[in-house]
Amino acid sequence: MLRDGGELQVATGVAAGFVQSDHRFAGPVTVAAGPTAAIAPTTGKESTVHTVLSVNLNKIAVLRNSRGGTRPDLRTAAETVIAAGCGGITVHPRPDQRHIRPDDVRLLAAVSREHGVEFNIEGNPFAPPRGDYPGLLALVEQTRPQQVTLVPDGDGQLTSDHGFDLDRDGPRLQPLVRAFSACGSRVSLFMDCAAPALEQAADIGATRIELYTGPYALAHANGNATAELAACAGSTRRASAVGLGVNAGHDLDQHNLGDLLRVVPQIAEVSIGHALIDEALYAGLEATVRAYLRVIAAARGTDEDAAQRAASYSNHAAS
């Protein structure tokens, strides 16, 4: 049984179970992995998986901070992407406050509650308080997000570029995972695909992992993503086998997202920010979110197709 509460049934869009396309809500999009899928959930049954699009608003804050003042406005950005149909808002406050600030976290937590979408806070649980930054746990205690994604990033990193080493970090993480869970938040750990100790995430109390998809995105851009897709499929199979749900994020965009979801349909959530905001500069924020929702919907094939793709890539990972 998945630690998230049984079968993965997570809605994309404001209306549960529906995917918004253009200006209307389409019917429910259902994908069952089938009995032969090597990365099916551990219930052993076919599962309905609706991948949530969570929009990361860090880059809106970067633009605001570059000039000072309040523009662009984070509330307006959040309400725009929610109205377009996204299922969640993600932020990644850092101690150096290079983009999202503590007051932004509190604001966006309230906006997410008002509109009935998930709120996901990412951050380094080991980073101590600094100045106005109270620490990740304090922010979570104040805002009670639906999900906390723990990421091992430091000030010297331009962006998150690796997952946890649970052989090394597990003992330090375990009490922190308990503390975040006590806030009522689902805890996800940022993990490299094919990390040797991936299964330990369940042992220390996490309910999900987030696959670091940077290497997959780079391989996709270079025209040969077969091995990285196999790694994503294999990691999802391993996570499911110990009851973990699976998210994915980093460098995902409209070009590579569909291929990932066609091979790994069990992904419960994708968190996308940098590419989405880049594309929105030209197409508009609302239109870009809707375009991503169409990519997610189009990635869903028949039950038999999903089973064949998953089995094919899982076999590749094992070879």
Give the rounded distance of the alpha carbon of 258 from its chain centre: 15
Q: How distant is the alpha carbon of residue 318 from its chain centre?
A: 25
Residue 308: burial class (beta carbons within 10 Å; 0-12, 13-18, 19+): middle
Please confirm, yes or no, whether 99 is among the known catalytic residues: no
The residue written with tokens 């090394």 in the block is 168
Candidate list 118, 122, 210, 228, residue with the active-site label:
122
Q: Which amino acid is at 205?
A: G
Backbone torsions φ then ψ of 152, nearest 5 degrees: -90, 65
**How many Å apart are CA 114 and CA 54, to the nearest integer?**
16
Q: CA-CA distance, 121 to 140, in Å (whole number)?
A: 8
Of 64, 115, 125, nearest to 93 by C-alpha is: 125
Q: Which two tokens stand for residue 211?
A: 């696959």
250 is catalytic: yes
Q: How far is CA 253 from CA 63, 250, 262, 263, in A?
A: 20, 9, 14, 16
Please classify residue 258 by burial: count the beta carbons closer than 10 Å to its beta carbon, then call 0-12 exposed, 13-18 middle and 19+ buried. Answer: middle
d(CA 190, CA 152): 8
Select which of 92, 99, 210, 269 is catalytic.
92
Q: How far apart are the first and last CA of the chain?
A: 28
Q: Dihedral sign, CA of 141, 144, 149, 155?
A: negative
**Dihedrals phi, psi of 162, to nearest 5 degrees:** -165, 160
Residue in 50, 250, 269, 279 annotated catalytic? 250
Distance CA 115, CA 78 (A): 10
Contacts of residue 261, defined as CB under 8 A and 6 or more positions apart, other chains included, come to 51, 267, 270, 295, 296, 299, 300
Any idea which residues carry the catalytic annotation?
A: 92, 122, 250
